[in-house]
């Protein structure tokens, strides 16, 4: 099985490009953010607890997202691998993912990082707010906190995966969606 991590700050286009990648390589796209939003929409206890943290632009507890990831690995069949989007988001999650995969005799295949500037994060998220109606996209303070959370907690993963030798970066700061998707698919092709 292949285990790809689609990495990048909020608004980099992970969700925008995940579908095409997953389809081309028969991968299951797992977005922890989408799974959490589904829990909120379904009105579950987990969703209720996650909502205030998501609305504040903070991370939900590691155990919550790791449980979702493990249960997806256990239950989803008929694919050649997984495309993780929005997970891992801090060093503890990255280390736990390594352990989860090790137990299964597997390892992270590659990290595909979509890189954009902080200024582009703000423009993209504001554009998306009008289209997708996400509460955490509509509030300036939440966006600022998500950017801070990214730099403080998620960005250190770049060094973690560079040290592991499987970090690959694509600059998607400018250009059209089509152009950026072609760049990402070109990189994916180099792993095939
Ligand atoms: P996303 O859709 O990836 O932008 O995620 C939306 C929000 O869900 C984030 O701002 C976090 O509050 C929460 N979230 C998503 N993935 C994770 C994760 N791996 N760890 C902790 N919180 C997460």
Residue range(s) defining the domain that contains residue 94: 2-185
- Cα–Cα distance list, 179 to 111, 172, 174, 176, 183 (Å): 20, 9, 9, 5, 6
108-145 per-position pLDDT tens digit: 999 999 999 999 999 999 999 989 999 999 999 999 99
Number of domains present in the structure of the chain: 1
**Would you say residue 60 lies in a domain?**
yes
Phi and psi at 174, nearest 5°, equal -120, -160
Question: Residue 192 has what pLDDT?
Answer: 75
pTM (2 d.p.): 0.97
CATH of the domain at 7: 3.40.50.300
Phi-psi region of 104 (alpha: psi -120 to 50; beta: other; left: phi over 0): alpha
CA gap 49, 98 in Å, rounded: 26
Pair of tokens at residue 95: 């280390």
CA gap 35, 49 in Å, rounded: 14
41-76 per-position pLDDT tens digit: 999 999 999 999 999 999 999 999 999 999 999 999
Question: What is the average per-residue pLDDT within 25-49?
Answer: 97
**Would you say residue 101 lies in a domain?**
yes
Which DSSP letter does residue 175 get?
Answer: S
Write out residues with Cβ below 6 Å of ligand 1: 10, 31-33, 36, 53-54, 57-60, 65, 86-87, 89, 93, 136, 146
The residue whose CA is least distant from atom 12 of ligand 1 is 54
135-174 per-position pLDDT tens digit: 999 999 999 999 999 999 999 999 999 999 999 999 999 9
């Amino acid at each position: 099985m292949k285990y790809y991590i689609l990495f990048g700050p909020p608004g980099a286009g992970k969700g925008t490009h995940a579908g095409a990648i997953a389809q081309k390589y028969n991968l299951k796209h797992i977005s922890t953010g989408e799974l959490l939003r589904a829990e909120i929409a379904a009105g579950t206890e987990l969703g209720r607890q996650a909502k205030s943290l998501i609305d504040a632009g903070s991370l939900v507890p590691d155990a919550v997202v790791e449980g979702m990831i493990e249960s997806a690995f256990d239950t989803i069949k008929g694919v050649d691998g997984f495309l993780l989007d929005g997970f891992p988001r801090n060093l503890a999650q990255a280390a736990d993912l390594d352990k989860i995969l090790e137990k299964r005799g597997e390892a992270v295949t590659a990290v595909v990082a979509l890189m954009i500037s902080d200024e582009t994060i703000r423009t993209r998220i504001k554009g998306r707010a009008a289209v997708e109606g996400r509460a955490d996209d509509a509030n300036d303070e939440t966006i600022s906190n998500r950017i801070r959370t990214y730099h403080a907690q998620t960005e250190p993963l770049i060094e973690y995966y560079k040290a592991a030798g499987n970090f690959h970066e694509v600059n998607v700061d400018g250009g059209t969606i089509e152009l950026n998707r072609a760049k990402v698919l070109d990189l994916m092709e180099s792993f095939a």
